[in-house]
Structure 1
Amino acid sequence: MSNKLPYADLSLEEALELFRADNDLSAKYRDMRSEAQQHFERHDIVHVLFGLDTTMREEAQADAWTLLGTDVSWRDIADFAALPEEKELVGDIGWWPITKAYFRGLPDYARIAWRSRKLRKKWSWADYAPYRSLRVGSIRREFGIDKALA
């Protein structure tokens, strides 16, 4: 299944750059403080590895995969939520559309919870530097992401 997911033949670094370009995020990254860049990059890696776009529904799915498919801590989540850049993003979107997307995603969360059990191991939220030059498809196979999504 990993060949059907986007970015499989690219390195993680290349996939992140393409993901940002495809979603018009490159300029936003350049304007962020380094701490925010780091947190948003971790979030975007989840999008890349699990083959998610930036629609509200798939943003909610990315959050579910982050909680269930990575080793993210509650401290990491709190730090991310406290970033001025994250607060600005939430303000731009609005709480009501975000809340609706999360409620509409409830069936997705159950499916993600079940599928996350198929992962061979959880993705490291903070220690992913050794993977930057590896192909996304091989990373997916190593972690069992392709099987989790099947």
Structure 2
Amino acid sequence: MLKTILKQRDGVSLVEVLGALVILSLILIGFFSMFTQTSSMQNVTEEEVQASNLINIVREDVKQLTFSSNDTGYYESFDSLDLTSVENNGQIVANNDFFATIEIKEETETNNLLKVTINLLNEDDRRVAHTYTYVEVTNNE
């Protein structure tokens, strides 16, 4: 019976070939778009991991400094803060693709702590990491 069916068909019609190509194209388009999305997400994730590691370095560097109550303010340039992990213009020493900003505020509930908020920005000025820490005021000048 199979032989008779195969003998009656001489080949595949053009419509069947085109239909198969359309279905195959739709599958491949979905498959390749998944690859491009995965690649772009990997780049974003890699940037966030780098930023997270760098901001931890800056935070530890900030904790090593001594602060007075006069040090409050917003810092984009670090001439007055002696941070080894950040250049004077705000670039991170370990990776020049990132810039740091630091805001130091007095803690309202206690008079001997300062809240230090650290932001890490990429080259497009987009914030990619954010953290804060508390530092003790050594002298109230």
TM-score range, shorter chain: under 0.3
- Bigger fraction of residues in strand: 2
- Bigger fraction of residues in helix: 1
| Higher-Rg member (1/2) | 2
TM-score w.r.t. length of structure 1: 0.20
TM-score w.r.t. length of structure 2: 0.21
